């Protein structure tokens, strides 16, 4: 069998699509934990035990983004064509949900100020070290602001990483992961609010995870990945996830999980390339992974809306969860079918962008 790099088109990686759902669900759980859905201390402790580290789904998506875009890239692909495909992939769904959320907030008497509303609409909010900007409107969209920055530099960054000798890719990956550990230490010299933005929001520091995913893709493409298999990688990520609350907070935001996520993504991709068994390829997981971007966009406003509409009862947290989850999946499916895919076909010039 020819190595993946030698083929005209890289093979699909459905296990990575399946993994996307788990990351999106972790973020959903995190927003349940932080969304004020319960007044019961025991229930809140339970949500914290399960989902306090759920925001680590965002580092997963950043590493995955670098991996998938590098994997699907082709020699001779022009920058403008790439940018058009990526814009077609995320901008229409973002605009629809952004406008819908602004309208709902206005009706609820919590209208977003013009500055955050406009900057968020154009996905520039992550560049402002001000919470009213980067968390204004549809809060999860701040990560799309980072993604747009990653897309902007990808056509320039990929040729540079491709020049790295294959036997040095592992060292490069280690250096990028080490960089995610340097960032929280640098933030020590900053005021607390700026330090949070610098570690968690700032597109430049978050680009380390994106570049890490790119180097992982190059290793897998060249058949140089020698890390653990999928079962061991899953255990590694679960242990890291469970221990996030025990880690220094600023390191726990990104650095603690970025390395294990890179290992998991490489292991899952390798399992697909070598056609090894992978439960992540189950059709239901692949389907959920395909709508995970839309789910990510709609999940927090869905939780907030359901929490506001349902009256407080002893089982309020359970009712919110059991209502918001299927409703968010339904809304995500509709957004995926009616906006995301049609807009992608229309605007990407006939070639759908990578997930």
Q: How far apart are CA 100 and CA 60, in angstroms?
A: 27
Q: In sequence order, which residues have a C-beta less than 8 Å from that of residue 192 and are 6 or more positions away?
A: none
Length of the chain: 355
Nearest to 114 by CA among 125, 127, 104, 126: 125
Residue 11 belongs to a domain? no
Place of tokens 């990028």: 176
Q: Give the per-residue pLDDT at 1.
A: 39
- Give me the pLDDT at residue 10, please: 72
| DSSP assignment letter at 312 | P
Task: Classify residue 322: in a domain, yes or no.
Answer: yes
Average pLDDT over residues 108-126: 96
**pLDDT of 251 above 80:** yes
Reported as a pLDDT band with limits 50, 70 and 90, residue 120 is: very high
At a CB cut-off of 8 Å and minimum separation 6, what does 126 contact? 134, 142, 143, 145, 146, 149, 201, 202, 203
Task: Please give the tally of structural domains in the chain.
Answer: 1
- Domain-embedded: residue 80: yes
Best CA proximity match to 38, nearest among 232, 253, 315? 315
Do the domain assignments include residue 8? no
Is 289:21 a contact under the CB 8 Å cutoff?
yes
Is there a contact between 83 and 153 (Cβ–Cβ < 8 Å)? no
8 A C-beta contact, residue 265 and residue 69: no
Parent domain of 238: 25-31+42-347
In a domain, 296, yes or no: yes
| Assigned domain for 56 exists | yes
pLDDT in tens, 20-54: 999 999 999 999 999 999 999 999 999 999 999 99
Q: Is the pLDDT of residue 183 over 80?
A: yes
104 pLDDT exceeds 90?
Answer: yes
pLDDT of the residue at 7: 45
Q: Is the pLDDT of residue 15 over 50?
A: yes
Give the DSSP H/E element, type plus range, for residue 145: helix 142-162
Is 105 inside a domain boundary?
A: yes
Question: 119 is written with which tokens?
Answer: 């900057």
For 316-338, the pLDDT digits (tens) are 999 999 999 999 999 999 999 99
Q: Does some domain include residue 292?
A: yes
């Amino acid at each position: 069998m020819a190595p993946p790099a030698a083929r005209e088109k890289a093979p699909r990686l459905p296990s990575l699509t399946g993994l996307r759902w788990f990351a999106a669900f972790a973020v959903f759980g995190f927003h349940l934990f932080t969304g004020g859905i319960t007044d019961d201390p025991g229930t809140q402790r339970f949500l914290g035990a399960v989902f306090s580290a759920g925001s680590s789904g965002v580092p997963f998506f950043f590493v995955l983004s670098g991996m998938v875009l590098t994997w699907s890239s082709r020699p001779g692909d022009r920058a403008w064509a790439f940018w058009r495909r990526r814009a077609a992939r995320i901008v229409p769904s973002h605009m629809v949900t952004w406008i819908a959320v602004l309208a709902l907030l206005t009706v609820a008497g919590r209208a977003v100020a013009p500055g955050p509303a406009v900057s968020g609409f154009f996905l520039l909010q992550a560049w402002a070290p001000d919470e009213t900007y980067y968390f204004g409107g549809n809060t999860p969209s701040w990560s799309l602001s980072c993604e747009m920055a990653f897309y902007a530099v990808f056509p320039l960054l990929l040729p540079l990483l491709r020049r790295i000798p294959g036997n040095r890719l592992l060292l490069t990956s280690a250096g990028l992961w080490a960089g995610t550990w340097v960032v929280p230490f640098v933030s020590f010299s900053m005021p607390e609010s700026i330090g949070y933005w610098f570690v968690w929001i700032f597109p430049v520091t978050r680009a380390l995870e994106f570049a890490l995913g790119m180097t992982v893709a190059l290793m897998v493409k060249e058949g140089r990945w020698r890390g653990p298999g999928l079962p061991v990688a899953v255990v590694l990520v679960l242990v890291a996830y469970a221990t996030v609350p025990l880690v220094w907070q600023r390191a726990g935001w990104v650095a603690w999980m970025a390395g294990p996520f890179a290992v998991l993504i490489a292991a899952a991709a390798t399992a697909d390339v070598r056609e090894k068994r992978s439960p992540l390829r189950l059709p239901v997981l692949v389907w959920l992974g395909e709508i995970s971007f839309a789910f990510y966009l709609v999940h927090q406003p869905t939780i907030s809306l359901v929490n506001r509409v349902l009256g407080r009862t002893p089982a309020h947290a359970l009712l919110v969860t059991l209502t918001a989850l299927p409703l968010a999946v339904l809304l995500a499916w509709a957004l995926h079918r009616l906006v995301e895919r049609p807009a992608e076909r229309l605007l990407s010039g006939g070639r759908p962008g990578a997930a």
